[in-house]
Amino acid sequence: MTILVAVKKNGRVFLGADRMMTTGSEYAVDVVNGSKIIKLKHAYIATSGYTLLDNCIEHLYRTKHPMMENTFKNRNEVFQFFLDLYTELKKNYTLVDTGKDTFAAIYNVFLVATPYSIFSISQNLSVNEYDRFAARGSGSDFAKGCLYGIFDLVDDGVTITRLALEASCHFSVYCKEPIDIVEVKAEDFGKLHAEGPKQKMKLLTHAARKGLPGMVLIEKNKVAKNSGKVSAKETGATASKKQSQSKQSTKSSAADKSLKTDKKRKPK
């Protein structure tokens, strides 16, 4: 059970996920390399569903399967990647039984994030691109509500992603901290790492919920009015200071002139 969140804000893309893993009636959050975010050669992938799919993708990564060269530049390339994944699951891993489904189906859902785009992949392999944000997994309803409410109010993409993940962890019994967030940067891609797809990631991990401490919501027009008042006060204070300095300078000049006159009149 999982929550996956991707956010694109001010030209930057962020991807986040919780770390809760369930096995029957048990759950764990301290699994080694337990992040649900996977770094490929040209994109990040986060998955919700069977951890077995995580194992398969890592195996394909380490064996340098040609599908790992996919650049994920558009929806068609993303679809091709998951079509290749489905083919491998069926052909070499014997993990997919298509006899019960009209179309190809994978139990998991995914989010793919590149430095420029966000894609969501459903169980039937359908691919959709999102311009602002996306959420998948058990806690996605709570995350989407949070994203809708704060996206236009908060400028920082990390904060938006974190709050959406926290909302899911707060309300859904299937999501739990720690949460991982990564910024998707172009300079971080271009090669496969021998250590595996979960290494060399610049994850920002939060062990507990933070919310928005020390922040309040203020209407923009009130901010503009207050800013204008402050500016006017500062302008008035500056003018008053200059006027005071001018008067002081005049008095000082007059005193110096008077002193010179007295010296001239003083008898030898």
Q: Where are the domains of the chain?
A: 3-206, 218-268
What single-letter DSSP state applies at residue 214? T
- Whether 182 and 203 have beta carbons less than 8 Å apart is answered as yes
The better pLDDT of the pair 224, 58 is held by 58
The pLDDT confidence band at residue 105, using thresholds 50, 70 and 90, is: confident
- Whether 206 and 213 have beta carbons less than 8 Å apart is answered as no
The answer to whether residue 253 scores a pLDDT higher than 70 is: no
Q: What is the mean pLDDT of residues 173-193?
A: 91
Res 232: pLDDT: 52
Res 268: pLDDT: 45
CATH architecture of the domain with range 3-206: 4-Layer Sandwich (3.60)
Question: Which residues, in sequence order, are bridge partners of residue 18?
Answer: 179
Q: What percent of the chain has pLDDT over 90?
A: 54
What pTM was computed for the model?
A: 0.79
Q: What is the dihedral of CA 144, 126, 156, 73, to 10 degrees?
A: -170
Whole-number average pLDDT of the chain: 84
Of 22-36, 140-154, 162-176, minimum mean pLDDT range:
22-36
| Rounded (5°) CA angle 203-204-205 | 105
The answer to whether residue 237 scores a pLDDT higher than 80 is: no
Quote the CA–CA distance of 167 and 119 in Å, as a whole number: 22
> How far is residue 84 CA from its own chain's centroid?
28
| Rounded (5°) CA angle 48-49-51 | 100
Q: Does an H or E element contain 89, and which?
A: helix 75-91
